[in-house]
Amino acid sequence: MSSSEEGQVISVHTVAEWKAQKEKLDASGKLGVVDFTASWCGPCRVIAPFFEELAKKFSGVVFLKVDVDELKSVAEEFKVEAMPTFVFIKNGKEVDRMLLQYEDPTCFVSSLVFIYLLDDDENVVGDYHFVTDLKVSLFGGGVWTLDFLSKLLFLLSKLLYWCYLSILSCKIFSLFGIAQSKATELKPTDKNKTMEMKVCRKLITQNPPDPTPTGSSLLLHWGKMSSSEEGQVISVHTVAEWKAQKEKLDASGKLGVVDFTASWCGPCRVIAPVFEELAKKFSGVVFLKVDVDELKSVAEEFKVEAMPTFVFLKNGKEVDRMVGANKDELPLKIDKHIGDVAADA
């Protein structure tokens, strides 16, 4: 990246320009953010000045802009279906994406900061100069410490009540005092993958950090159920787990609701807290969650084509499904099928 391009949004108008910028980005090892926009898109025009301000603030990040009507092939390559869509790229791979609500640009900043902070084992905590202005404006100066990270997560979790932060890191176990033995109990190990921890807004806001918190003040919630699964959403991560849960559900005669979701899906994050609340309310119903990228074969088996998709199962058969994050329709469907279960009993 030339010095003239740093701190600016680089508009790409041809496929040749896109390939050149993409190759340069991949070789640099920097984080890149691609704004897929359109001239006719109102929210795109509203967020454009904010995107330009972020480019000035985060000078170590590469900001690219692609008009989907100019570069349809690039938009299709990244499966862009709505605008504005922001795709985060690092080391040649997509690491996150966001369909941005223009009235809530805070979520954009949070993803930008979190991806930079927590994307590898070596750089979980450090002094990141590119966000100095953000740090000073929110908390004052200082390096990125566990205490500071705790405060940052607390603030952003309050602002973004639906936002789950995934930390893909093994070394973070020692930073937060988590024993490896306990981690392996919570989620099966895989030499090619790291463990996943999720920071839950509900836990953080109910137990806010002290004015001068220690690392242990940051509460971590693991995406694995305790021995008591009733009233909770059961996240399924392997085909073996899915088969076991499916067999258990079929044998029970209970109604089951499977949430087919994806980590990059904005509506999925919006509906997730609702799904968890419904699990607490309908304790006689089995609530399962399947990530379509983790379990592609299961998603294909149920012919899932869009996320979120909720599939209703009873006695081994699909009895209904709902596509989309409709928080009003979902409990109504559960009520309906609970009644059907009672009638069959």
Which residues have a catalytic role annotated? 265, 268
Burial class (CB in 10 A: 0-12, 13-18, 19+), 95: middle
Tokens of 39: 């001239």
Q: How many CB atoms lie within 10 A of CB 291?
A: 22
Q: How many CB atoms lie within 10 A of CB 265?
A: 21
CA 85 to chain CA centroid, nearest Å? 14
Bridge-based pairing of strands 196-199 and 233-236 is unpaired
- For residue 5, the SS3 value is coil
What is the residue whose two structure tokens read 């009638």?
343
Tally of CA atoms within 13 A in the half-sphere of 318 that contains its CB:
11
Could you tell me which residues are beta bridge partners of residue 90? Answer: 31, 93
Pairwise CA distance, residues 138 & 106, whole Å: 13
